[in-house]
A and B are shown apart, each in its own frame.
Chain A
Amino acid sequence: MKSAILQTATRYLLPILLLFSFFLLLRGHYYPGGGFVGGLVAAIAFVLHSFANGTANTMKILRYKPLSLIPIGLAISTLSVVAPLLFGLPPMTGLWFEEPIPVIGMIGSALFFDLGVYLVVIGVVLTILFTIALEQ
């Protein structure tokens, strides 16, 4: 689908949507949002880009295969699950920094868990869609 309007639009939409998806991820703990929705939005941003510019070009922007996001995401989630064990607490215990960080707010293990989910969702959606799209 070659459309100059869509191509130009996605050039700006991609970063904005990605920023939005990250915003959704960060606010998830207090307001509607979260890693799952954030990941889906980020995936949609790339899908939109691939519609306008072709999947091969999107893959170029991504640089790495989306499949590689899956193990990274799973590793981050798993680490945040087992991290409390290092402090002698049962797994999945919420660990939080005492002071909130400006802009982001409170940072705790739950945020990292969500970040892992976010990455896995992007990886899964893009792997499935791009694999099918690129199939000859």
Chain B
Amino acid sequence: MLFTVLTGLITSGLLIPFGKLIKIKWSFLLPLIPVLLFIFYLLHIPTIAGGTNLVQHVNWVPSMGVNLDFRLDGLSLLFALLITGIGTAIFFYARTYLKGHVYYDRFFAYLLLFMSAMLGVVLSNNILTLFVFWELTSISSFFLIGFNNDSKESRSSALTALSITGLGGFFLLAGLILMGNVAGTFVISELFSKHDVLLAHPLYPLIAGLIFIGAFTKSAQFPFHFWLPGAMKAPTPVSAYLHSATMVKAGIYLLARFTPVLGGNELWNNTLMIVGGFTMAFAAIHALFRVDLKGILAYSTISALGMLTFLLGLGTPEAIIAAAVFILVHALYKANLFMVTGIIDHETHTRDITRLAGLRKVLFPVFIAALLAALSSAGLPSTFGFIGKDLIYEATLHYEEHWALWLTALAIITNVGLVAAGFMAGLKPFTGKLPADFEKVHLPYPSMWIPPLLLGILGLIFGLFPGVVGDLFNNQAANAIAHAETGMKLKIWHGFNMVLLLSIATLAVGIVVYLVNKPSEKKLAAVERFNRIAPQRVFLRIGRSIMRASAWYTHTFHNGYLRSYHIKIIIFAELLLAYKLWISGPIKINWEELTPLSWYEVGIVAILLGALYIIVTTRSRLTSVVSTSVIGYCICLMFVFYSAPDLAMTQFTIDTLTTVLFVLVLYKLPSFINMTSRWIVIRDAMVALGFGVILSLIALRVLQEPNTTDVSSFYGENSYLLAKGKNVVNTILVDFRGIDTMFETVVLSIAAIGVYSLIRLRLKASEKE
């Protein structure tokens, strides 16, 4: 399984150097990757359908419990098949859709990256690995939404999507780590047995809440739904692949995956039911007001995701079966509708459904594909959508008595909206009279219309043989979600009962709504008046205030004046040290213990003070630099007196070189003009004095600390035995703390390269343009 994840990642990386080849004539190789992976996973169906799970373990960072653990069970297989199967269709489709695009190679690199990341998410058996892949999907989605990078809207949509899903990722990471720590394991298959431990733990509500936020942001649940319509700025193959069939379902996958770990209680079920239920009805109604084809599909996708969340929330075996089936149903018809939309957009250059009509005359095979998808989405008997709808009603009807009615009503409202939205997207552009300006529209290459047609036909076949399909794909998926035998048996015909009646009623009402509802710009504007209180605005406002705050912070603290950085750093250090000094208690000095002053010490202090006086009063830069080095040499002498020859030597040479450096720089500066006001001089003097006083007090404070010699005696004893050196300072530098020295030299090197590049590689005036 590892190789299936790696193939895409490696190929994606290889496209950077070899992208040119792909652009010219090797592009037929690209779809081979999803095709082969799809076949690989198809071959696993018999094993998984038989109830066995595959496990693979590769060490990655074993010391931190992060390993490349993969596990293939029913749920993972269903998703892996969707990712590679829909991926195959999309790769063929996109190859033609984007033919001749400047960033053709880049597009496929992102798409492959996404596919691998998504496979990683659904196959991971380690929650931290899962998170890594989870974030990779967000990142690749960011690149794909912003693919048309010369459009401002597309860039800002990409940023919105990344900030919402990225934010969710933060919460998810926190939730996963908490969960792992409480359960004592990061391996998903081991977490199943910790269900009771987790549920009884006081942190359970927090863990569940954090994971909810992660899943809801990814799967565009209210109030985080608004990034998904924005994400439709991406090229249509991306919308079809990421933002309807696969990536947005990662959140659903997460919830399904953790249902046996964290679910099965009121908090889990009720939250999912409320959020999912609200999202599905809200988005289904919203979809009816859109005039942009992709807008309609975006909202109906949100609604479908809400439906899945809702079903997982119901949590009954029937609901879980319904969810497992609906994932497949939705992926099939929604990817199809998106690809159809892409063809329409590609050929007519518009997606406005008020303008599109009669296209069946010029795009007949596309019309068939769209019709199959619309019928499946409407749940017409004998389509796969019918099976899905049946199961949903069965799940709501058989829920606890006094809730069943309300839940069913909610599901009906949603489904009516979805039926109408499906017809609006799949039927409306093809019916009616063909406008004159579309008469020249012609059919695109078969590689564009065959994939949606195939998906449509597949939906029909699945609908005719639901029993076989259920056994192959959905049965084990439902078992994995419930972590028990759900005993699923899909049937076309359930007999005349309440469920069938509701299905027919939904279809009828949906068709009526479709015929009556005439979306227009005016209606859309009426709906958009509510935008002021929409979550999107709230998030936008939060985002803007964060930007403002960081702009204020940057301008105040990073104003570009070296002196201002210095004073802030020093004041901060003073406050920190003063606080520490304050809480460490009073300073007592035992004068008896101090060694008496010698005459040469007095002499040096006198020189030191003299040099200080000159620095403060002189009006020449050179004089002050020389005086500074006098102070440095005085300190060197102090080191010599107190028997630290290594330090003294280093200090001596450093001081010499610093002075040389100063002189070199001063030479280039304009002559010195004193422009500082009296107030600034006093302020600087206070800061400097404060620092001196605090450091002196610390030195005195250190004196009264008990003298521990553990460290120095360790080095004294071991420097010859372990490092074969008699100079303890040197053995510390090159042996005991050698890694420190190593990195210090690296830091020095970086500084040198910095100086070199700042000065030598400065742009010439002519290059600045």
Contact = CB atoms under 8 A, between A and B. Distances in A.
Interface residues of B, number: 40
Interface in B700-756: 722-727, 729-731, 733-735, 738-739, 741-742, 745-746, 748-749, 751-753, 755-756
Majority secondary structure, A binding face: helix
Interface in B645-663: 645-646, 649-650, 653-654, 656-657, 660-661
A35 B734 contact: yes
B756 A114 contact: no
Contact of B725 (A29, A70, A127): A29
A9 interface: no
A44 B731 CA distance: 25
Contact of A28 (B730, B742, B759, B760): B730
A120 interface: yes
Contacts, number: 132
A40 B726 contact: no
A2 to B, nearest CB: 16
B755 A47 contact: no
A133 B664 contact: yes
A125 B645 CA distance: 22
Q: Which of B656, B752, B756 has the most CB of A within 10 A?
A: B752
Given A28-B727, A32-B649, A94-B723, A131 B734 contact: no
Contacts of A92: 735, 738-739
A35 B664 CA distance: 26
Given A29-B727, A36-B733, A37-B650, A43 B657 contact: yes
List 7 A-B pairs, minimum CB-CB distance, nearest first. Answer: A40-B653, A32-B645, A124-B752, A29-B725, A127-B752, A30-B726, A120-B745
* A-side interface size class: 35 or more
B738 A70 contact: no
B668 interface: yes
B675 interface: no
Given A124-B751, A132-B759, A135-B760, 19 more contacts: A29-B724, A29-B727, A32-B727, A32-B729, A33-B730, A34-B729, A34-B733, A40-B654, A43-B653, A70-B749, A81-B739, A92-B739, A94-B724, A117-B741, A120-B749, A127-B752, A128-B756, A129-B661, A135-B668
Contacts of B739: 81, 92
Given A124-B749, A131-B760, A132-B665, A47 B657 contact: yes
Nearest to B646: A32
B361 to A, nearest CB: 70
Interface of B: 645-646, 649-650, 653-654, 656-657, 660-661, 664-665, 668, 722-727, 729-731, 733-735, 738-739, 741-742, 745-746, 748-749, 751-753, 755-756, 759-760
Contact of A41 (B646, B653, B722): B653
Given A125-B657, A129-B664, A31 B748 contact: no
A11 B653 CA distance: 20
A16 B729 CA distance: 26
Given A29-B727, A32-B727, A127-B755, A120 B748 contact: yes
B748 A110 contact: no
Nearest to A123: B752
Given A28-B730, A34-B734, A129-B664, A40 B657 contact: yes
B646 A44 contact: no
Contact of B660 (A47, A108, A123): A47
Contacts of B653: 37, 40-41, 43-44
Contacts of A35: 734
B730 A132 contact: no
B515 to A, nearest CB: 76
Contact of A77 (B650, B724, B745, B755): B745
A117 B745 contact: yes
Interface string A66-97: 01001001100110010000000000101010
B105 to A, nearest CB: 34
Given A32-B646, A120-B749, A132-B755, A81 B727 contact: no
A78 B745 CA distance: 11
Interface string A12-28: 00000000000010001
A56 interface: no
